[in-house]
Every structure is written in structure tokens, then in C-alpha cells.
Structure 1
């Protein structure tokens, strides 16, 4: 399974995710079947940085595109709690997710 790490730039506050340990050659967001499959994963690492360039700002300023298989800019993040029989998306239960705007029950 690919390992994903999150970064937030200290100046622009943009957040992006990077496949820091691919599970195979050329594996990433577009090609790894374990990303976005609905199974519970460990909480990813999250770093605040000034040294790593923000892919969104670098694209706006320099005009270069970033590899969307290895890097994804995060639009919004939220965390939640699962009440039910198991941790995975397909298990019986209720997901309560907390976003920036409040609480959402799915």
C-alpha cells in the first residue's frame, strides 16, 4: 500500500498530499488500487513546511504542472468517527465527519 504524507506551506496555507513511499514502480494516486478504496488506514503524517514549494503556487507563478499521480492539492479536509460494526466504509454503522463548516452525518 502506498504511503501518503500531507504538507502545509507556512506562508500560503495550501495543503497537498504526496505519495512518499509508493508500493511499486509508477504507483500513486491514479494507479494504486489501495488509495480511495474505502478501507481504514493509519492517520497520515502531516508536516508544516517553508522549504517545500507549494504545488498550487508554483503552478500559478512558474506555470509548470506537477505530477498528479505523485502529488495532489487538497481542497478541504475533515475528520470523523465511525459508530458501527467495523472501521471500513462498507461495514454497518454511521459515519460522523467533522469538517471546517460543522458536523456532517453520512
Structure 2
């Protein structure tokens, strides 16, 4: 599973996600299977920054979408069950408006 880090620009308040550690060669938002499934994922790191440019505002939307994705909304939840990967019976409760985060 690839490791994702979230950033929020302090001036414009936009949030984006980057793959900080890929799980294998050539793994990115388009190829890593962990972004397609609904299994449980670790809570990612979240940083508020002034020094990193916002992909939408400062880079004019010109960025590699395989490695960087803008986040519109975030939600969290809980999982009760025996298998965290979803192979067993379990109950998942999602908080917020969406299932997890919405990445464009």
C-alpha cells in the first residue's frame, strides 16, 4: 500500500495529496490497487504549509496527476471486524459527507 501525505496551503486553504512512499516501482494514483479498494488505510500525515506551492493556485493546475491529487472533501470512519482488509464480516461507519476522501 502506497503511503500518502496530505498538505494544506495556509494562504489559499487548498488541500492536496502526494504519494510520499510508493509501494513498488511505477506505483502511483493510477496504478496502485490500494486506491481502488475500500479497505482500511492508515491515517495519513497532514501538514499545513506556506513553503510548498499549491498545485491549483501556484502551479496553475499543471502538475502530474499520477503523483499529486487535489482533495475536495475529507471524511473518516471506524471499522469493527476481524479482518482489516475486508475479507470477513465487519461493520464500517463513515463520518462526513463522503466515503473517505474525495480525490480529483
- Superposed CA RMSD in Å reads 2.2
Q: CA offsets, 1:32-87, max 9 Å, x none?
A: 1222322222211111101101111124xxx4511111000001001112234443
TM-score (norm 1): 0.76
1:28 Cα offset (Å):
0.6
TM-score (norm 2): 0.78
- Can you give the 5+ residue segments of structure 2 that lack an aligned partner in the other structure? 99-104
Structure with larger Rg: 1
The answer to whether residue 71 in structure 2 is matched with residue 74 in structure 1 is yes
More helix by percentage: 1
1:91 Cα offset (Å):
4.0
CA distance in structure 1 between the partners assigned to 2:61 and 2:73 by the alignment: 23
CA distance in structure 1 between the partners assigned to 2:39 and 2:16 by the alignment: 21
Q: How many pairs were matched up? A: 98
- Can you give the 5+ residue segments of structure 1 that lack an aligned partner in the other structure? 102-106
